[in-house]
A and B are shown apart, each in its own frame.
Chain A
Amino acid sequence: AQSVTQLGSHVSVSEGALVLLRCNYSSSVPPYLFWYVQYPNQGLQLLLKYTSAATLVKGINGFEAEFKKSETSFHLTKPSAHMRDAAEYFCAVTPPPGAYNTDKLIFGTGTRLQVFP
């Protein structure tokens, strides 16, 4: 079975500060990992994904995440927060093709990011 844990339901940073949102996963097979963002009144938007290629993945809006198998982590970072980054962020996992007969996303509980001026 697969699962995702996001540490911290709320994270607050000052504008210009480092953003670090934590995600740990549990999977019996090497997973595919995703970060999605939800801005107010909008659907989920894919920020970035890891699909067993490079372990450091760059996404949109200056975000990146590093897959660390030894730590079973996929933390999301951004060097300098902007006011427009305020949103809810979701980490998700899915098995790679062929591992199971499903490609459903399994989500963490989400982390709401607040950015203060």
Chain B
Amino acid sequence: EAGVTQFPSHSVIEKGQTVTLRCDPISGHDNLYWYRRVMGKEIKFLLHFVKESKQDESGMPNNRFLAERTGGTYSTLKVQPAELEDSGVYFCASSQDRVGEQYFGPGTRLTVT
């Protein structure tokens, strides 16, 4: 089966611009998670979807970040407007069951200049 895919793999944008990251989970996985790793620090949770509903968005840093999961399939994470501190690697993960194994995508490396 295909794994979790993320697009783009890299994105370089200027401060103030908008960027949209996309995640395609493993087919049939209702749970989708977004995480972020900034500057070699720990990987931090951003939010969790169950199908199209936001189960937990306690990790979203501020209202410049907007996540959607239309139809319970793929998800997008939009950053608008981007700031320098948003640079990092954004990971997406999916799982079939709650507290099941989370399968991670390769990540999107975002650089804000």
Contacts and interface: CB of A to CB of B under 8 A. Distances in A.
Interface of A: 4, 32, 36, 41-46, 49, 51, 90, 92, 94, 96-97, 101-110
Interface of B: 3-4, 31, 33, 35, 40-45, 48, 55-56, 58-59, 91, 93, 98-99, 101-107
A107 to B, nearest CB: 4
A41 B106 contact: yes
Contacts, number: 62
Cβ-closest 6 pairs across A and B: A43-B104, A44-B104, A104-B45, A107-B43, A43-B106, A109-B42
B107 A103 contact: no
Contact of A94 (B41, B91, B99): B99
Contact of B45 (A41, A49, A106, A109): A106
Contact of B98 (A51, A92, A97): A97
A44 B103 CA distance: 8
